[in-house]
Structure 1
Amino acid sequence: MRLRALLAVLLLSLLAGCATAPTQINNSCAIFAQRDGWINNWRRAAERAEREFGISVPILMATIYTESSFRPYARPPRTKLLGFIPWKRQSSAYGYSQALDGTWSEYQRSTGRFGARRTNFADAIHFIGWYHNKSSRVNGIARNDAYNLYLAYYAGQAGYARGAHRNNPTVQRAAKRATTISQRYAQQMAAGCR
């Protein structure tokens, strides 16, 4: 009985660590240090996505930083009915990747990963690698172009092709932020995460 209780406490503490955002998100090494468990190893998941899709870990991580600040249950704010009653959300974006319902379903069908969840870091970073890789193929964006990959991520590949981002300073600022963060993460990783 005592062993069972100890195992339950251990399992709950492991799961609690999976369901919260890291506290230090401005340093890629610190993020990986906070999430280097044997069950939930973010660095290994990011490196697998990099190998599979050819998108660098810093770009993948900067996309998550910009989209959700590493919060697993992030959602857009609700609109207000009559100015004060919480109403519908602006979009179906959800999880680390802020993937929309339809895009997530397309990803699941395309990859066969039907059990993938937007609140699971490994699934979310795999999704981002898949999406950036698709943007590279569809829109001709270089795999190391954090700025344009983010624009296509936000606007969608068709929206990017139409130039939907050109007159949207908010999206352009977000893409600049993603680029700056990816450069910072790359420098930190080059200096050597232990």
Structure 2
Amino acid sequence: MAIKYFFPIQPKLLTSALFIVTLSGCATPPPANPENVCHIFEEHRDWYHAAADARERWGVPIHVPMAMMYQESSFKHNALPPRDYLLGFIPWGRVSSAYGYSQAKTMTWEDYQRETGNGWASRDDFEDAIDFMGWFISKTHKINGVSKWDAYGQYLNYHEGWGGYQRKSYLKKPWLVKVSRVVKSRSMTYAAQLNKCEEDLKRGWLWRLFFG
């Protein structure tokens, strides 16, 4: 006769497992059509409100951080930079500490938390990430005089840092200049799209229920 063994499941382990499964189920998927900012916000209405809040707080036009975020993470909440390799083939961590929607590096994120008092901010939370980008864009304007509407110059600062931009390190990186132009072009596209749909995005669910 076969003998069956039953191992009791520890309550703490069960709770932890359920917590992990719940978090996985709640993770926000990237938008189905990231090329159209109206479609992005129609799919994720809370993202629009978060972006509008960041605009109100930092004076940053929505289309600029959204274009930068698309370039940085493709709107993936857990985006990571490429792996680094030892001797060319042994996995050796990541090339930087960047993480999340905004691909903010750990030290810069901690500066943001300290300056804004938002100690609970998380890089894999869209609302926190878009607010971080608003903060960074605003500081770039103060430190290096780059317009908050200038997606090209703002992205160069975002990638190279304020000191790197002052040293014009990007001039040695033609690929980065090219990418920054792509970000600028996308921001202009987003701006035109948002101009056509923002009034509808501002309306609440009750209005959409009866008139949408």
Q: 1:47 maps to which residue?
A: 52
Alignment match, 2:33: 24
Report what 2:9 is aligned to. none
Q: For residue 88 of structure 1, what is the aligned residue in structure 2?
A: 93
Alignment partner, residue 104 of structure 1:
109
1:177-192 equivalences in 2 (<5 Å): 177-192=182-197
What is residue 5 of structure 2 aligned with on the other side? none
Instruction: Kindly tell me the number of residue pairs found equivalent between the two proteins.
Output: 180
Report the identity percentage.
Answer: 41
2:196 alignment partner AA: A
Distance of 2:72 and 2:105 partners within structure 1? 12
TM-score of the two chains, using structure 2 as the length reference: 0.80
Cα RMSD after superposing both structures: 1.8
Which of residues 163, 170, 180 in structure 2 aligns to 1:158?
163
CA distance in 1 between counterparts of 2:157 and 2:138 reads 11
Gaps of 5+ in 2: 1-17, 201-212
1:15–1:75 distance in 2 versus 1, CA, 3 Å: closer
Instruction: Say which SS state the counterpart of residue 26 (structure 1) adopts.
Output: coil
Residue 17 of structure 1 and its aligned partner are, at CA, apart by 5.4
Q: How far apart are residue 129 of structure 1 and its match?
A: 0.3
How far apart are the structure 2 equivalents of 1:51 and 1:18? 26
Match for residue 180 of structure 2 among 154, 159, 175:
175
Write the deviation string for residues 97-142 of structure 1: whole angstroms up to 9, x where unpaired: 0000000000000000000000000000000000000000000111
Query: Which residue of structure 2 lines up, in the alignment, with residue 34 of structure 1?
Result: 43
Task: Give the partner amino acid of 1:32.
Answer: F
Alpha-carbon spacing, 1:84–1:30, altered in 2? closer, same or farther (3 Å): same
Letter in 2 for 1:155: E
Cα separation, partners in 2 of 1:146 and 1:50, compared to 1, 3 Å:
same
* Alignment-derived partner of residue 126 in structure 1: 131
> What is the match of residue 79 of structure 1?
84
TM-score under structure 1 length normalisation: 0.87
- Partner Cα distance (1:148, 1:15) in 2: 36
Unaligned runs of 5+ in 1: 1-7
Q: Distance in 2 between matches of 1:56 and 1:15?
A: 32
